[in-house]
């Protein structure tokens, strides 16, 4: 009996998936990505699937179905992925060294500290602080190497 139930679950195709036209879904996917990535809507902590659907003139269930089929995740997870990508970039960039983690998390669209830390740890396996420290050490090494190379090039010109 359990094997039969398992087989039925594997064969099950959600109703919304049958209704989605692949060509239309590709077009909507492009529009979704443009809103989220190009327009950086992920930075708005109050931007939800409902807002995206309104912006695109679609039903929020249709938006959710496309995101689920393309990314195998929900809208919130997708938004957090882009937020985390930007946070990781900022934590490696010397220009953001003086900013507190909470300031960075707010800049990329997290509405509170706990959701930021949870999302970051779930995706990266380390805390934002540990990530920053690890990359700060690498950044220091890279800067030292760059300075050495400049001084060696300067010494070569003097000879």
Q: Rounded to whole angstroms, how far apart are CA atoms 17 and 19?
A: 5
pLDDT in tens, 24-66: 888 888 999 999 999 999 999 999 999 999 999 988 888 998 9
Q: Rounded to whole angstroms, how far apart are CA atoms 71 and 78?
A: 8
Residue 24 vs residues 20, 58, 67: alpha-carbon distances, Å: 7, 12, 13
When pLDDT is cut at 50, 70 and 90, the band that residue 14 belongs to is low
Angle between helices 75-92 and 128-158 (to 10 degrees): 40
Task: Report the C-alpha dihedral over residues 93, 105, 108, 100, rounded to 10 degrees.
Answer: -40
Report, as an integer, the average pLDDT of 128-143: 82
Residue 149 has what pLDDT?
Answer: 78
In this model, does residue 91 exceed pLDDT 90?
A: yes
């Amino acid at each position: 009996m359990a094997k039969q139930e398992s087989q039925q679950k594997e064969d099950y195709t959600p109703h919304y998936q049958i209704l989605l036209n692949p060509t239309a879904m590709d077009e909507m996917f492009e529009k979704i990505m443009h809103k989220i990535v190009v327009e950086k809507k992920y930075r708005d902590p109050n931007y939800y699937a409902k807002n995206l659907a309104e912006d695109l003139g679609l039903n929020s269930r249709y938006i959710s179905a496309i995101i689920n089929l393309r990314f195998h995740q929900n809208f919130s997870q997708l938004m957090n992925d882009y937020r985390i990508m930007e946070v990781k970039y900022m934590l490696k960039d010397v220009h953001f060294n003086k900013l507190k983690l909470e300031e960075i998390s707010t800049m990329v669209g997290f509405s509170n500290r706990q959701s930021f830390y949870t999302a970051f740890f779930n995706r990266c396996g380390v805390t934002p602080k540990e990530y920053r420290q690890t990359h700060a050490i690498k950044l220091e090494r890279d800067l030292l190497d760059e300075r050495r190379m400049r001084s060696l090039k300067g010494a070569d010109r003097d000879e």
